[in-house]
Each structure stands twice: as C-alpha cells, then as structure tokens.
Amino acid sequence: MGDVQVPDTISTATKTTSEENSGESSKGSNSNQHKCAVCSSFATKCCTGCRDIHYCSQEHQKQDWTRHKMQCSPFILKTSTVFGRHFVASRKLKGTSLILEELPAFCAPRGMVDDFETPLCLSCCSVINELPIDQVGKCSKCGWPVCSLMCEKNDYHSKNECEIFFKSKLAFYPPGYSVYELYKVIEVIRGLLIKDKKPETWKKIMDLQYQTELGSKTLFDDLKSVRKDFKVEDLGTDGEWNRILGVMNVNNFTMAGPRATPSISYEAFLFLKTSMFAHSCAPNCWWGITIFPEFKITVYAAEDIQKGDIITLPYTYLYSAFGTHMRIEFLKRNGDYICRCIRCVTKAELGSYASALKCFNCESGYILPESPTDSNSEWKCEDEECKSVLESRVFDSRIEYLIKKLEDCETVPELHKYIEDNKDVTLHANHWLITEAMETICKGEPSESGSSSEALAEKDKLIQYCEHILKVKNIVAPGISLERGRCYSH
C-alpha cells in the first residue's frame, strides 16, 4: 500500500499508560474522501491500528487517541490466495488480551441429522423432551416449541418465524423432516428476514464466502417443496435460500446446547467479523460464546501475537483433539473444507507426532504421511535406512482398529492397559489416541482413594499423564487454549 510511517509521537506517549502500540498515522490510500475525526477538515492520514478513522494531522490524532484507543481495532483485513480474507495483528497483542467481542447476525438451534423426534426450544435450544413437565411449552402465538414464557418472548423467536407461522397457521411441524432439517429451515428463514429488517447487515452477509454444496450433496434437493411445506413461498428466492445455506456451511460457529446430553443439540451462529479470521488447527486465538440469551462471542489471544502475524482461530472445537488425518476427514465431511494450516501441512504436526505410528518394520522409526492433507496419502517410515511404506488403505484399517480398541475400553484398568500396549509400541507416545486415553482416565474419579500406597501410585500416574498431555498440547494448542485448560481442570 506504500504507507508512509510518520514519526511515532502518539504511540510513545501512550506506551507509558498502555502496552498497546497503536496510533501511528500514515497516509491512507483513499484518504481523499475522508474528514478529520476531530475538526472535520480534509483528512490526509489514517490510524494504522485500524485504518478506520482519519485525521488532518498528527496533532489531532494525538488529541483523539485517549478516546479512540478504546475502539481502535487490534487487527486489519488482508487478502491472500492461501487464506482468502483474513485479519493480521495491527500491533503487538499480549496473551489473554481481548481481540474481539461480537453479537451474532443471526443464530438458530441445530438438531442431530438422524433425529426425528426431539424438538428443541426455538430460543434457547433446550431439548424439550428432557424438560420438567411444567416447563414444556408451546408458543401461545404460533404453537411451535419454546421452553418458557421468556423464550416465547425472546426476539430470536418472536420477531422471526413466530410472526410468519402465526400468520400462515403452520402447525408444528411439517411431517417427513428430521430435526436437523427442520431447524435448518428456521436458520434460513431467520437469515432471509434480515434482508428487509437490516439491509446493512444483509449486505455484509452477501459479502461473505459461501459454499453451496455440503460434502458434495445439497441439503434440500427440492427447495420448492420445502418452501411450500413451511408455507414460505414468498420469502426470498431459491437463490437466496441456497446462499444462506452456503454462507452457513462456510462461516457458522456452533456451541453445544444447554441440555446437550450427550451432544443432542447445538446452536449455530453467524458472526460477521469473527468468521473472517483465518482457521488454524494450532491457533493463536480461541473463542467462547456466552449462554442464552446474550450469545456473544469473545475472541482472545492464547499467546503473545506479534504485529503483522495472522490471527487464527479454530472454527470448531469438536475435532481439535484429533490428529491431522482425522481432523481433515471431519472438516471435509462437515464443511467441504481442506485445511492448509501450519499444523495440517507439516508431516509431524509441528513436531508433535500427534498422528505418527511406530514403524512395524524397523521398530524404531515413526511412520508419517507423505502429504498430510491428502486422505489418500501414503505413509512412510522416517528412518533413512528403513523408509517402509504403508498404503493409505492399510493405514486406515490399522488406525480404525486402534480407535475401535480405545472405544471398547470400559474401565480405568482397561484404559491403562491400552496405553501400555500402544504407547511407543504401535503409536508414537504423543499420538492423539494415547492422549485421549490419558484424558479419559484423568477426567474420571480416581479408583483408589485415601493414602494407601496404591492410591498414591495411582495419583502419581495421573500426574504423569497430565504432564504428558500438557507436553503435547503445548505444541499443538499453545498458550491459554481450551485443550490445555481441559487438562488443568482434571
């Protein structure tokens, strides 16, 4: 952009009161159209922190900094062929610092695909079947499921599909739809209603990336009959329905519902800004979403981020504990998305060896994928003298067998035995199946209590496991990450 950095007068002044290093001004490329935020005269400079605010002079920028620093964005938008649109840090960001808070453009509950019978509250996403009988409710206006009066009155429901279904007298619910499809329709309706209600937001939604084919098949083959069944023929066009579905395929964030036992419901969100952060399976930021009714996403830095670094997030927490091979499979299946993050493209996953098998031939080397993001890749022994090759088919059956074995472990001693039998025998000690087994043990109640020698030995073992898990997570999920936090909570 050819920005001219003018002397750093403001940032030096502010450094004494804040760690942030922003407020340098530079010539913005399109500064001609802008007015100074202080005096409204012709502005030739813009804040390099956010490029969102303009000034006539450095004096006025300096004058405004105390006020503006509260709003100055710590990231700026960039585009690249690899990451598409993404954000980079506009200044040094300290670990744990807040990067962004954002409310959803819209959201909707999301049920399970093969479920045909579990209605979810249209506002808070509770599983209605599991509620105490006095809380089970139907909206007094439209008759669709809400768990309480508070949820009936909540804008997510009352200002969206409730008005439509009330007018059309559409009873809950058109037969033949799975709970997943049912709430997917609600999701689209809520998205489409933004077009008239908030045109500015709609423009931004239309500006997001989208992918209309999900795992190479569309969700609704016949949109006409869907729209007829839900009596919403007049709402949007087929193209707009597909567009909202496509935008959500690529950009949605999900969070488990309040009564998700076990994982029966999710809330799906569209966050306009947060969805533009680059995804990484070894991210430098993490996020959390507050519970109903606020639903605010908070993005924070897991570790120190340098000025100019790409800010990365995990799009989903569901697979973050898996090795690359598994993650790629899931990401592809659920979002038609092939990850090219630094963890996915390095054979040994940043040196963690979280997917490596022990070589069956030389018994000392480790087997790694030749091209890690290709699920049909060959796997090859790292040992220069061995170089044994495993076809992807053979690798797949081997790993499936080991996953099945872990799933079959029902007791803590069986899990201990699984670890003993496989750690550095069939799998690298850092393999994700080993850390999964260890986490399962650490999560449970210790089988021996008190201070007998057995109990102490078991506690020692748990400490060893936690240390081992942390060692691996320090590589793939460094800093203040969910993965590490989970370990500390054991």
Q: Are strands 106-111 and 137-138 parallel, antiparallel or unpaired?
A: unpaired
334 touches Zn ion (CB under 5 A): no
Residue whose CB is less far from Zn ion, 142 or 487: 142
The strand order across the sheet containing 45-47 reads 25-26, 45-47, 54-55
Query: Beta-carbon neighbour count of residue 1 at 10 Å?
Result: 8
Build a one-symbol-per-residue string for 89-128: x at contacts with Zn ion by CB under 5 A, - elsewhere: --------------------------------x-xx-x--
Taking the complex as a whole, how short is the minimal distance between the CB of residue 146 and Zn ion, in angstroms? Answer: 6
Instruction: Collect all residues with Cβ–Cβ distance below 8 Å to 388 and sequence separation of at least 6.
Output: 359, 360, 361, 362, 365, 367, 380, 381
Build a one-symbol-per-residue string for 276-315: x at contacts with Zn ion by CB under 5 A, - elsewhere: -----x----------------------------------
For 111, the token pair is 């049920």
CA distance 100 to 71: 11
350 touches Zn ion (CB under 5 A): no
Binding piece for Zn ion, criterion CB under 5 A, among 96-104, 307-315, 344-352, 405-413 = 344-352
Taking the complex as a whole, how short is the minimal distance between the CB of residue 457 and Zn ion, in angstroms? Answer: 35
31 touches Zn ion (CB under 5 A): no
405 touches Zn ion (CB under 5 A): no
What dihedral do alpha carbons 120, 122, 126, 129 form, nearest 10°?
-40
219 touches Zn ion (CB under 5 A): no
CA distance 342 to 34: 39
257 touches Zn ion (CB under 5 A): no
Q: Is 131 helix (H, G, I), strand (E, B) or coil?
A: coil
326 touches Zn ion (CB under 5 A): no
341 touches Zn ion (CB under 5 A): yes
Residues in a beta bridge with 100:
299
Taking the complex as a whole, how short is the minimal distance between the CB of residue 213 and Zn ion, in angstroms? Answer: 21
The answer to whether 147 touches 126, Cβ cutoff 8 Å, is yes
Residue whose CB is less far from Zn ion, 261 or 452: 261
Query: Beta-carbon neighbour count of residue 242 at 10 Å?
Result: 19
* Residues at the site binding Zn ion, with contacts judged by CB under 5 A: 36, 38-39, 47, 49-50, 56, 60, 72, 121, 123-124, 126, 139, 141-142, 147, 151, 162, 281, 339, 341, 344, 359, 361-362, 365, 381, 383, 386, 388
